[in-house]
Structure 1
Amino acid sequence: MHTPAPLHLERALVWFRRDLRVDDHAALYHALRAARTVYCVFVLDRDILDALPRQDRRVAFILGALQVLDDDLRALGGSLLVRHAHAGDEIPRLAAELGAQAVFTNHDDEPQALARDAQVAERLASFGAELRTFKDHVVFERREVMTTTGGAYGVFTPYKNAWLRKVNDFYLSSYPVERHASALAPTPGARGVPDLAEIGFEAVALTPHLGQGSRGAQALLDDFLDRMERYDETRDFPAVKGPSYLSVHLRFGTVSIRRLARLAHQRMQGGDRGAEVWLSELIWRDFYHQVMHHHPHAMAAAFRAEYDRITWESGPEADALFRAWCEGRTGFPIVDAAMRQLNQTGYMHNRLRMVTASFLTKDLGLDWRLGEAYFAQQLLDFDLAANNGGWQWASSSGCDAQPYFRIFNPVSQSEKFDGDGKFIRRYCPELASLDNKAIHAPWERAPLAMQAIEYPRPVVNHALARERTLARYAVVKSRAVG
């Protein structure tokens, strides 16, 4: 299905980034079809890494994925060169050193990545080389799914319907890399993958079930295939094994989005409701990436400009509330359990991402950008487009966001999605002795027991906070109308 230009290059360099696998890899496939000799590199980009805390789960995950990638490339006759440098400088320098006439890589539409790639392309051109980029991280990107008038979609359901009308075997077919692997060559200077200490980071524990690189992704997918048909019934309950847990693997490309979408689409066509709902989640991912492409301003400001006029809470008291939210000390068990899960594991269940985001913006009255930045720091699966989209959805400032007057009640959310308190007890063990009714609102339902438990009282009154939020948003809406 994929037919690139015929062989015409002597040497090419494949630059791996958020696509850490060999299987079904667009840039690698095109390089192998275009060049007689193909080298491979990954740059631990200091423009990104130097700003991170010295214990960062994502760096540990990346190094594990690189080890598997290197093993897989070596099995095919190549190897992976790993450099710790500024990618904008290192890629052109390495291409010149290797005599590569082209650098092949996959698209990264984040604003900073686009600026970096433009710089790399300019430097490559200075000595007659070129940068060739390909779609790999999503099924549809940029301007591939547009409205009938040629505009970008701002509402998910019409986008999803257009996505489903357009998708076919061509868009979901894989790139057969192994068939053309004879062009792979060991990259000069490749000495394996460095450990954390070699690049200035400290050891950090990763959740074992994630596995390592593409092997870990395969194991998780195998497990999920047996559960996919129940995904629509189980996905909202954090104490139940409902999600695929593949989000971090999608983020770093240790599994192909085309492969996952193809599996879900095939099952959906067979009447599998769980597969249909899971495919919808994958389409949300495409949707947020096309929003980022068409509206890059939304990565730092409200998609709907009027919401940048909201007066958020500020000052010492607001700072203390933010710290309580970050540390899981709000006095609302479901919120605190979710934040502690995030802090301890780097993961948060999707339903709880919505609950905690709503709580920060609409119970505490704090700017969504504070929460977005904290999630960006803590989430192992952090993705700029999806994280921004989720936060703007919760704060009602984004495209297709929940209406501002829809405010999650943390107690009712807790009762509905963690009815027996199993998830709360796991991450708030000090509440384990409370019964299934009291555990959702212990300050109200078990006041005597709370006297002997070291657990904070609620930092806000939800009912009063809700009224303040309605008033805060109503002012903005009235100004927009006026």
Structure 2
Amino acid sequence: MHKEPLAIMWFRRDLRLSDNAALYHALKSGYPVLPIFIFDRNILGDLEEKADARVSFIHQALSNMQDQLLAMGSTMDVRYGTPAQVFKDLLQQYSIQAVFTNHDYEQYALDRDTAIETQLKEAGASFHHYKDQVIFEKNEVIKDDGRPYTVFTPYSKRWKATVNEFYLRSYPTHEYAAAFYKQKPIALPSLESMGFQPVNIDFPTTELNETLVRKYTEQRNFPGIRSTSRLGIHLRFGTISIRELARKVQPLNETFFNELIWRDFYHMILHHFPYVSRGRAFRAEYDLIHWRNNENEFAHWCNGTTGYPIVDAGMRELNETGFMHNRVRMIVASFLTKHLLIDWRWGEAYFAKKLLDYDFAANNGGWQWAAGSGCDAAPYFRIFNPYLQTEKFDPKGVYIRKWIPEFDSLEYPSPIVDHDVARKRCLQVYSAALKPGGQAPE
């Protein structure tokens, strides 16, 4: 056992050494700081795809952090197992006085952290956690009467009225780097040792394209051009700082800046309305909808063979790259829920498996918005017309032809449903469920 008293910095969704709230407080704690990361069996065991690009991304980010720590005479201690077992082992190996980590807002994470805090207290160690992945959380932006906002526009106005330099300033972790615990390098477990395979994919850079940000308002809806930052995966895993990014983009483009506020909004919703994490609609009456849930049509949607080019292009982009353009995400979600009358939870789960930047709060919020069941959602009678969406946002078919090489040939399938028929059916099913006295499906 290492007898020297120390603190642990438990990295999760904050895979960087710079501008990290919990790391800053750990390094100032007066104890040498041992950085750890846990490849959580409880999470990885649920992943069907063993060539999961997100696991490779995490491993790559940890390798980059390890290089930085080795240069300072320290090392990451990366473990594979359940958090309870890993901390049991760490408590036997080290004289742990305190554990520092940043907030995670999903239900599994909340339950996990409660259990670990109890485990640590029983061993005489304290547990400290901080806000890091959002600018405002929980009750920091609420109405005057203490209730949470459920509509984005007034929330964003209060958010902007509240934010100032204090909330956007960085934590100067580099000033306290000497406090990292010094010991011999500990090798990271390989992906193969955990049952995963490396993925050969070019992950987006962390560099901000300022020209793109300045043009974001005019160009963001056109999937055929490079109009979005692709920083979602870095925000998801914390390889960039939300505070640093907000400072950079605020003077460049308000529309882009608003996208960062949407992240806070959905995390706030998850905190105040935790039932959405249990598969329930934000607006309870939408749980009365009688979904068709045709498995064959769902397979066509997943595979990008619906016969609706803009939908198919989006799904093929997602399947191949783990990314989908924001405008197209709305189109494919509307198509699944409104044209095919397939439960939004099916689409939510598919995105959860495929998206590199998957984040429960934003994914759930986006899907419920598309289905009409969410906070600040589109009304149920707003049904995207895929053909009109194509005319507006991919008029020359640049995006479509990129992902559907057979588009101009007889090999491309016919539509699996007629738009006008699907629209009328959707309006009938939704209105029947949402009228007073509607009954839940059996």
Gaps of 5+ in 2: none
> Is the alpha carbon distance of 1:96 and 1:293 closer, same or farther for their aligned partners in structure 2, counting shifts above 3 Å?
farther
CA deviation vs aligned residue, 1:311-367 (integer Å, no higher than 9, x gap)? 0003xxx10000000000100011001000000001111111100000000000000
Asked if 2 retains the 8 angstrom alpha-carbon contact of 1:80 and 1:187, the reply is: no
> Is the alpha carbon distance of 1:76 and 1:328 closer, same or farther for their aligned partners in structure 2, counting shifts above 3 Å?
same
What secondary structure, in the 3-state scheme, does the structure 2 residue paired with 1:36 have?
coil
CA positional deviation for 1:73? 2.2
Give, in whole Å, the separation in 1 of the partners of 2:405 and 2:344: 29
User: AA paired with 1:476?
Assistant: A
Asked if 2 retains the 8 angstrom alpha-carbon contact of 1:375 and 1:382, the reply is: yes
Partner of 2:51: 55
Asked if 1 retains the 8 angstrom alpha-carbon contact of 2:235 and 2:241, the reply is: yes
Partner of 1:191: 186
Residue 362 (str. 1) matches residue 338 (str. 2): yes
Asked if 2 retains the 8 angstrom alpha-carbon contact of 1:331 and 1:458, the reply is: yes
Partner of 2:295: 319
Partner of 1:3: none
Among 171, 174, 179, which residue is 1:175 paired with? 171
Give, in whole Å, the separation in 2 of the partners of 1:73 and 1:416: 49
What secondary structure, in the 3-state scheme, does the structure 2 residue paired with 1:35 have?
coil
Partner of 2:244: 259
Among 204, 210, 222, which residue is 1:237 paired with? 222
What secondary structure, in the 3-state scheme, does the structure 1 residue paired with 2:305 have?
coil
Partner of 1:442: none
What secondary structure, in the 3-state scheme, does the structure 2 residue paired with 1:420 have?
coil
Give, in whole Å, the separation in 2 of the partners of 1:75 and 1:21: 15
Give, in whole Å, the separation in 1 of the partners of 2:431 and 2:16: 49
> Is the alpha carbon distance of 1:171 and 1:480 closer, same or farther for their aligned partners in structure 2, counting shifts above 3 Å?
farther
User: AA paired with 2:221?
Assistant: D
CA positional deviation for 1:243? 0.6
Among 353, 359, 366, which residue is 1:377 paired with? 353
Asked if 1 retains the 8 angstrom alpha-carbon contact of 2:39 and 2:79, the reply is: yes
CA deviation vs aligned residue, 1:2-35 (integer Å, no higher than 9, x gap)? xxxxxxx941000000100011001110000112
What secondary structure, in the 3-state scheme, does the structure 1 residue paired with 2:333 have?
helix
Residue 136 (str. 1) matches residue 132 (str. 2): yes
Give, in whole Å, the separation in 1 of the partners of 2:188 and 2:103: 24
CA deviation vs aligned residue, 1:121-142 (integer Å, no higher than 9, x gap)? 0000111112110000100001
CA positional deviation for 1:471? 1.0
Give, in whole Å, the separation in 2 of the partners of 1:463 and 1:195: 52
User: AA paired with 1:240?
Assistant: I
CA positional deviation for 1:234? 1.0
User: AA paired with 1:120?
Assistant: I
Give, in whole Å, the separation in 2 of the partners of 1:113 and 1:209: 26
- Tell me the TM-score normalized by structure 1: 0.88
Partner of 2:416: 459
What secondary structure, in the 3-state scheme, does the structure 2 residue paired with 1:323 have?
helix
Q: Percent identity?
A: 49
Residue 288 (str. 1) matches residue 273 (str. 2): no
Give, in whole Å, the separation in 2 of the partners of 1:186 and 1:62: 23
What secondary structure, in the 3-state scheme, does the structure 1 residue paired with 2:96 have?
coil
Which runs of 4 or more aligned residues in structure 1 lie more than 6 Å from their structure 2 counterparts after TM superposition? Answer: none
Among 386, 390, 398, which residue is 1:422 paired with? 398
Give, in whole Å, the separation in 1 of the partners of 2:131 and 2:116: 18
CA positional deviation for 1:74? 2.4
Asked if 2 retains the 8 angstrom alpha-carbon contact of 1:39 and 1:187, the reply is: no
Residue 346 (str. 1) matches residue 322 (str. 2): yes
What secondary structure, in the 3-state scheme, does the structure 1 residue paired with 2:100 have?
strand
Residue 88 (str. 1) matches residue 90 (str. 2): no
What secondary structure, in the 3-state scheme, does the structure 2 residue paired with 1:101 have?
strand
Partner of 1:117: 113
Give, in whole Å, the separation in 2 of the partners of 1:92 and 1:37: 20
CA deviation vs aligned residue, 1:175-207 (integer Å, no higher than 9, x gap)? 00010111102356x52323321211123222x
Gaps of 5+ in 1: 1-8, 211-215, 435-449
CA deviation vs aligned residue, 1:370-407 (integer Å, no higher than 9, x gap)? 00000000111100000000000000000000011111
Asked if 2 retains the 8 angstrom alpha-carbon contact of 1:21 and 1:254, the reply is: yes
More helix per residue:
1
What secondary structure, in the 3-state scheme, does the structure 1 residue paired with 2:33 have?
strand
